[in-house]
Every structure is written in C-alpha cells, then in structure tokens.
Structure 1
Amino acid sequence: MSHEPNALAQIHRQIMWNRLIAVVEEQAQIMIRTAFSTTVREAGDLSAGIFDLHGRMMAQAVTGTPGHVNSMAESVGHFLKKFPAATMRPGDHYITNDPWLGTGHLHDLTVVTPAFHNGAIVGLFANTAHVIDIGGLGMGPEGRSVFEEGMYIPIVKCFDQGRPNETFFDIIRAGSRLPVELEGDIYSLCACNDAGARRLTEMMAEFEMTSLDPLAQFTPAELARLSEIAPEVYERAKRRIDLRAMEQEREACEA
C-alpha cells in the first residue's frame, strides 16, 4: 500500500476502515443474538469495539449506547496496566465491573480479549453490557455503598487460553440470583470478542496486513485534514423527499 498513489492509498484505507467497522458491528450483533439478559437482547444496552495495543479505540460498533462506548474506551487502558499485551495469549479473556475503572456501575460488565494474527498480538476486542443481576441490592438508591449494590469484580482473567476459570465462575454463580443467565452473559461477551478476532484475522489476511498501525493513524489523520478546512460558510444541496413541499417551493420561486 505504501507504493500506491496517494489518492488510491486513501481509498484503500477507507475501504479497510469501513471493513473494520463492519467487523465490530458483527461483534455487537453476535452479542445481542447470544446474550441471556433482556437488557442486551431487547434493549441493546451494550457497546463493542476494537483497540490498538496502547488501549486506544480504533473503531466502535454502530449498535450500542454512547455511555457504554465511553466507559468501555476508558477501561481498556486499565486492563493493560494489570495485564500487559505481551503477557496475553490466544484464548485469554479478561473481565471487570469496577465502576472506578470506567464501567459506570456494577451491572455493567466489560470484557477484553486479545486478537492474534500469524502468532502475534495485533489488537484488543472489548465490549460492555448491562446484565440483569449481579447480586446485592442492585443499582437502585437502596444501596448506600458500592459493596451493597452487588458483586464487585476486579480485573481478572475469566478464561485462560480458552479454559474457563472455574473458581471465578463458582463465585459468580454463587453471588447471583440468576446464576445461569449471568454465566451465559459472560460466555456471550467472550464469544462475540472471539468472533471479532476471527473476522479481523480474515481481514488482515485479505489485505495482506501485518499490523493495525496504519489504520490506527487513520482517525488522527482525518481529524488533522478537517482542521485544515477554512472557517467559512459552506452551502450544500438539499434533497427533499416531500414532493408536496417541493412543488410549493417551485411555485413560490416562479411567483
């Protein structure tokens, strides 16, 4: 891609960027299809995205809520502080609901999963979802402290190279009124990240990419180009679909 003419390279990057957005949108849709909690399946109270190895968000799914997108983006850096990218292995999944690390409140679970291509870690998939029950008094005003609201999960590894952390899941099941649903939601969050990682590998192979670094610079480059636009008044063409309004506008112009 570096030997392509500049205009062609820009088109190529835009195609790959759109493909990356499609990858994370599929990630979100898989979560909706497989989640147990109605807050995810019916309300879409979730977010999904891909991050570079510095914890910076590269793309987010169209499906989801802005609040979860922001909290998810904030939390990934905290995962990397505890589990650096160099220590991650294929099949690892990490989870937390720590509200001070970005998730908002205890009902919001965030899962981070490394993605590998040709044996090397190339990025991180993350998601946040609001689960139905996390134990305790819940998110209402009855709880006087975070410890009364439910189970407080620090950043831990819930899957180790594809093997579930049974101690973690024993604690999760014991602390929830809906143990099957909660465990199912966690499996759903991990599965959708795995699906995103597989799609990313397919994309990188198709475009002969060895790293996501060129795409990671796409957004800053676009922002820099937008900042170069002169602060003037720009007129644009308007397309109307109200035929009656169009006819009235035409008659007014002729008069």
Structure 2
Amino acid sequence: MRKVVFITGASSGIGRAIGEYLIEKNYVVYGTSRNPKRIEDSKFPLVALDVLQSDTVFCAIKEVVDKEGRIDVLINNAGKGIMGAMEDIAIEEVENGFNTNFLGPIRVMKAVLPFMRKQKTGLIINITSLAGYSGLPFRSVYSSSKGALELLTESVSMEVKNFGVNVVSVAPGSFATNIASGRYYTPVSENSAYKEAYGKNLKVSDDYVDQGLNPLVMAKAIHKIIETKKPKLHYKIGAFMERFSVVLKRALPDRVYEKLIMNHYKL
C-alpha cells in the first residue's frame, strides 16, 4: 500500500522539495498552502490550510482522509522567519512568530492524531531548526519558537507511542531556499541602539542562506526517516560546522560558546 504523506507549507522551498522527491518514490503526497490556487506548477495536489486557523487545519486533514482513507505521515514544515533585536520587535510579531512556528504544528497534530490513533500507526515529522538548539542574536523569537517545538516533540512522542505513532524532529541548517525573502525583518529606526549590530547580522544570516545546501539533501533525509522502522527522536541536517556547533555548545562553558557565536556574527 502506498503511504499517504501530508506536508504543510509545501508550495515552495524545503516543503516543495520533499513533496516532489516523495512523488518520485511512489508516495501519495498532499501539500498545503494558504492560497493553493496561486500555485500553478505543483507536481502534487495542494489543499488550502492556514496553520493560524484551526478550522482550515481540520478541513484540510478531513479532505485528505476522506479521499485516501488515511494519513500515514504528517510533515509539519510550515514556519515563519523573524529577525530583529528583542527590544525592537513588536509584541504582536512575537505572538505571530510563536503562533506560526509553535502553535501551528500543535493545531495540525491535534487534527491528525485521532486518525493515526484509529489506524494504530503513523509518523509525525516536525521540521524545527538548528537555530532551535542555540539562542542566536537577533533571532530570539525564531530560535525560541523552534526550540519549544523540539521539546514539544519529545513530550508528544511519549504520549502517543503506545498508539503506534512515532513523533520525531528534524532540524535543518541553512538551505538555499527563498526563506530570506519570506522572513519578517523588524524595522530599525535611525536612533535604534541596535542599528549597526543588526545590519551586520543580517548580512551574515542572508549570506548563509545563499550558500546553503540544496533542499534535495533535506528531501532525501526525510525519505530515509520515513523508511526507517524505528526512527530516532531527533535528526540534524546541515553542513558539518552547523551540526558540530550543537556538540560545541554541550562541551564548552556557556560564556566561551557565547563568545564564539558573537564573533561569528561580528558582534
């Protein structure tokens, strides 16, 4: 039986790459987009879903289950980048970032879990970020929301394992996608105390995206996880130094690691 895969945020970037690769591997793939009618060249069906709106989430899940009879794999990929000094970020944007990156995946999991429990099988893959393993300067909201999703994954994994459902996280590093153009960049006034440091940080961060890995690397990793009978709880996919930074954080004294990060971002 061909597995049915449901991918949020699949109209572009990593989500789209994963969907196209899984189609080639003979999976049944459904992606989501807030405005699927605008996407004319998708190689797999797109259903309307906004992770901020619970009603659209439940309708999208039900639509796929009604058509296919099941959902075997959920890939929580939809997310939002946000940059800026914490002091300068409007509280509404902080709420929006957490609503998308943390509460969004919760809404989708709550919608799909009843069906997976009934099937007595299923796999949920939460796409987090290597930025969720370390607080990065001017990415406080993004890092903390993705870090929260990592811990949520651990909790839910223990809650649903007895129902035959596996929950894992996959933390990507920098990939060559259009994520930079979709980020929310906090406006910085001329008299902001962070103007100079924020400007330097933006250049480093955007350069990383431009030099990032091909999204196909992520797609192949996701396929391998789906095919694994006993998947690990956490996966880290990225360039060697990005993955090694997680090891360094565990090994080095906190302030030494903090200094390395500040030097990297020219602070």
The structure where helix makes up a greater share of residues is 2
Band of TM-score, shorter chain: 0.3 to 0.5
> What's the TM-score, normalizing by structure 1?
0.32
> What's the TM-score, normalizing by structure 2?
0.31
